[in-house]
Amino acid sequence: MYVGGSVISSVEFHGNMSLVFFMSKCPLACRYCHNVELLEDNTEKSFEEIKQEIDSSADFLDAIVISGGEPLVQTDAVIEILTYVRQIGLKTKLDTSGIYPDNLKRILDLDLLDYVSLDVKTTFSKYRKITGANVGFQVKKSMELINESGVHLEIRTTYVPTLHTKKDIMNLVDEIEADVYTIQQFRNKNVLDPALEKVEVPNPHDLADLASEIKPYFNGIVKVKSGEFGEQVI
């Protein structure tokens, strides 16, 4: 399996100390992607190496998070890891773009997930502008599958001033259903499109104002995540 790295985190699975694995590879070309180094990374790790890393930290862990890249490029590897994590009694979380609903359904049907963070880039009809691929329908299907499964769902959107408008976010809220909706602050360092390095990072107070404006229209918790203030519930 291709794994670009790992890190211990207290923020990736709220309220839980987690070991996060960053699976390499992703077919999308999101202009603001800040994990560019993972897109074509060929660093290989065996399942035994992954298992050993989990075991060595398990005493102080609550959860394992599988992130990326796009983890579901390597669905069999993800299933192998999550199955082991279930066996040792830790919680599980998956970060995904949702572009592989059939692969996601395999994992949901196996009851291997407690939490999914679904990156919804924009309204489902405007995906090509952000990702270079018209995959909004697949992402919507993934959202529906997660909601049907009863797994806790957080939908996240990274707000990029030159790619998104306030109206885009308002329209998106009408299209989504989740337990949590998080607006994430765009970061202009190490992005796929060099032109975005010149785009100003959104003011976290402006993002909080936007979140407050959409909150009445979203049936769930609304959050803002920024470098200045971390994760804020609105």
Query: Domain residue spans in the chain?
Result: 3-233
Determine the average pLDDT of the residues in 116-127.
94
Of residues 80 and 43, which shows the higher confidence score?
80
Tens-digit pLDDT profile for residues 27-59:
887 777 777 676 777 889 999 999 999 999 999
Position 38 scores a pLDDT of 66
Label residue 227 by pLDDT band (50, 70, 90).
Answer: confident
Question: For the chain, what is the HEC assignment?
Answer: CEEEEEEEEEEEECCEEEEEEEECCCCCCCCCCCCHHHCCCCCECCHHHHHHHHHHHHHHCCEEEEEECCHHHHHHHHHHHHHHHHHCCCEEEEEECCCCHHHHHHHHHCCCCCEEEEECCCCHHHHHHHHCCCCHHHHHHHHHHHHHHCCEEEEEEEECCCCCCHHHHHHHHHHCCCCEEEEEECCCCCCCCHHHHHCCCCCHHHHHHHHHHHHHHCCCEEEEEECCCEEEEC
Is 90 exceeded by the pLDDT of residue 162?
no
What is the pTM for the complete model shown?
Answer: 0.93
Amino acid 31: pLDDT: 77
- What is 3-233's CATH superfamily? Aldolase class I (3.20.20.70)
